[in-house]
Structure 1
Amino acid sequence: MTDTSPLSAYQARLQSGDLKPDQGQAEAMVHLDHLFHALTARQNQPRQTGFGRFFSRSKTPAASPPKGLYLYGGVGRGKTLLMDIFAVVSKGLHSQRFHFHDFMVQAQNAIQAARQAGKSDPIDHAADQLISAGSVICFDEMEVRDIADAMIIRRLFLSLWDKGMVLVTTSNRRPDQLYLNGLHRERFLPFIDDLNTRLNVQHIASGQDWRKAFLQSVSGWHLQPCPQDQKIHHALNEIFRQLSGNTAITAETMNFSGRSLRFDRVAGDVVDTDFDSLCSQPLGVRDYLAMADRFSGLILRDIPVLDDTLQNEARRFMWLVDALYDRGRFMIASAQVQVGELYRGERWAFEFDRTCSRLQEMARFRGINFDR
């Protein structure tokens, strides 16, 4: 296990100039650091085994797991960055790192497999599988919107806690705002009580929202009449680098109903992709909503002129824009023409007027919920 703690790793990046000082982030990192040291002390606690434990008069039981940590704050507060630092430093503490949506997909799949195998308690069996690789489970962006997740989440997490899980999670919302206005929310409320009881809930105080400041300095719509124009590609590469906020760029696969979609360029809660990848695939409304729940924003490259020969692609693009708009997400795009000239067909002419209106708002970053 590394001798570096989360706080010392954070301070080293400040000293190198990789990060800028931020009081809210620094305070959040102190809480992560305290949890790290509590986990380390528990792991290092000497335990008697064999005859020594049998004959010992002063048997010391294994220490109970420490309280977990729930960090919440608005978009652009650096939650993913903080979680990245904690996850890297705590690898020796049997930690696992997930995006919350991906974890719940794994959980639902494991529960379904356990049911098909005839297990007496499929949720408990799934919990055994999920915790087997590490009892310190780190989530980025806890956000419950799916009723299927909301209805099983408490039973699943109670089972995980019973098995020794320590939960570390970030979210854009306070615990009491999770699954707000969701169907049968009264059945979800006990889980909120569990979070408040079992986790140390901390707000990342407001500070300089570097993402909001940056987005307000760039255009959301980049004209690229020639798809081979490398100047626009280079400009979008730089925008993605800035939006990544020093977060590592990785590949990620999202699993939808019966299909999967791979993204090659993901940095925290921002994805860099292209039109064909999102709109030439057989995706539906719920898939785009899940995508909008996963990412705070995206860079979408190479949007073509849409007409009746691309009816399906145009419809999926409308669904994508609606999902991003409804969730208050941002999009930075490159296209061959201006927004008002994007659709030249008849099939979706009426519906596309609303899409154009939303695109024009999004290109000016209006309606973006920076506090989510």
Structure 2
Amino acid sequence: MERFEDIYAEEVAAGRIEADPAQEAVLPEFTRLSQALAEKPARRGFFGRKTSEPVQGLYLWGGVGRGKSMLMDLFARRVEVAGGQRRVHFHGFMQETHAAIGRARKRGVDDAIKPVADDIADGLRLLCLDEMQIGDITDAMIVGRLFERLFEQGVTVVTTSNRPPDDLYKDGLNRNLFLPFIDLLKQRMKVVELASPRDWRQDRIAGADLYFTPADARAREGIDALWERLTGGAEPETLRLEVTGRTVELPRYAAGVVRAGFWDLCGRPLGAADYLALAEHVRVLMLENVPRLGADNYNEAKRFVTLIDALYEAETRLVMSAADRPEGLYAEGTGAFEFERTASRLHEMQSEGWGAEQA
């Protein structure tokens, strides 16, 4: 079994990543997992009882941009598991779980969490979850029993988070009911902090062009290069945001970055709640092909203004290609005067260090 320290050194030597002592300090945990998961899973005894405990998982937490997702993704790509494995964003995983519970209840299943968890665990040995965060009471009320059943079924969980377990669902409604889940995480997963002083995501975007005009082939090449730098070449997945009973799908999401066209976000009947949810769940938005705005696309222009306001308030970084400079995007017509504030915000969002706490 290849040591994860050697895999990391291989990536550094190839120039795909830059060595970080804090990242190197957590590599033995991935080696531990790799070696344990390469072995055949424990056999079940009579009545489905296990003859040994499942492999202890890993809860890797630390500030944004420290390389947690990069390490987990590298692990997921290279680990050899004696059994099935899956890597998914935590938010998407919980949405899938809620949908499955809803379908089970429609079939008349009263206690749906157990069969849903069993379906998830079927054939699964390793579950990698990116960016665990609990901000929704509906998530908070089911994760305890859900994960308890997954662990009982022998699933090893590796997750990343910006918060230590004790800060999950902090100040949330009925948090006392959530506390057993925190104890369960600490029991079943080794909690490790990635305490790097360096924000790699901010470093990768520092000094780069963030606003491209015109939105031509050169702009696309520039955004392609930034996408590669920010995501580390990770395979994009679909980010699904549940907003007031609707699902907003963003098909190009990786490592906290969403890439979308103007018409994808502003040509659809989306509103402030949708854009606020987007700003909350991503670190960087790459918005391409913003046209000149005016009477011909007035509704789309209003949505664009609302989107920029949401990103600005959340300090979400913006990379954008557009038909003109910010002050030239909405030069005349109804709404041009009000757009001056948006143009000012677009300039501010390009400045060095803006949004450093979030990127």
**Pair 1:285–1:7, CA change in 2 (3 A):** farther
Q: Specify the alignment match of 1:112 in structure 2.
A: 102
SS in structure 2 of the partner of residue 70 of structure 1:
strand
Q: Specify the alignment match of 2:70 in structure 1.
A: 81
User: In the alignment, does 2:159 pair up with 1:169?
Assistant: yes
Distance 1:319 1:181 in 2: 29
Q: Specify the alignment match of 1:68 in structure 2.
A: 57
Give how far 1:48 is off. 9.9
Identity of aligned residues (%): 36
Q: Specify the alignment match of 2:218 in structure 1.
A: 231
Distance 2:33 2:19 in 1: 22
Asked if 2 retains the 8 angstrom alpha-carbon contact of 1:139 and 1:168, the reply is yes
Q: Specify the alignment match of 2:275 in structure 1.
A: 288
Give how far 1:138 is off. 0.7
**Pair 1:307–1:260, CA change in 2 (3 A):** same
Distance 2:262 2:133 in 1: 26
Q: Specify the alignment match of 1:219 in structure 2.
A: 209
Distance 2:182 2:310 in 1: 26
Asked if 2 retains the 8 angstrom alpha-carbon contact of 1:4 and 1:89, the reply is no
Length-normalised TM-score, structure 2: 0.86
**Pair 1:314–1:88, CA change in 2 (3 A):** same
Give how far 1:258 is off. 4.2
**Pair 1:345–1:144, CA change in 2 (3 A):** farther
SS in structure 2 of the partner of residue 248 of structure 1:
coil
Give how far 1:217 is off. 0.6
Asked if 2 retains the 8 angstrom alpha-carbon contact of 1:6 and 1:85, the reply is no
Q: Specify the alignment match of 1:279 in structure 2.
A: 266
The C-alpha deviation readout for 1:7-46, integer Å capped at 9, x for no partner, is 33222222333222111111222212112223334x266x
**Pair 1:48–1:182, CA change in 2 (3 A):** closer
The C-alpha deviation readout for 1:115-163, integer Å capped at 9, x for no partner, is 1111131111211122224132110111222332223222322232233
Give how far 1:207 is off. 4.2
Equivalenced residues, count: 353
Paired residue type of 1:85: L
Distance 2:323 2:337 in 1: 19
Question: Can you give the 5+ residue segments of structure 2 that lack an aligned partner in the other structure?
Answer: none
The aligned runs of 1:5-24 (5 Å cut-off) are 5-24=3-22
The aligned runs of 1:1-372 (5 Å cut-off) are 3-41=1-39, 43=40, 62-90=51-79, 92-93=81-82, 94-224=84-214, 227=215, 229-245=216-232, 247-252=233-238, 254=240, 256=242, 257-259=245-247, 261-263=249-251, 265-343=252-330, 344-346=332-334, 350=338, 352=339, 355-364=342-351, 366-370=353-357
Distance 1:11 1:207 in 2: 20
Asked if 2 retains the 8 angstrom alpha-carbon contact of 1:297 and 1:329, the reply is yes
Asked if 2 retains the 8 angstrom alpha-carbon contact of 1:73 and 1:371, the reply is no
What do you get for the CA RMSD once the two structures are aligned?
A: 2.9
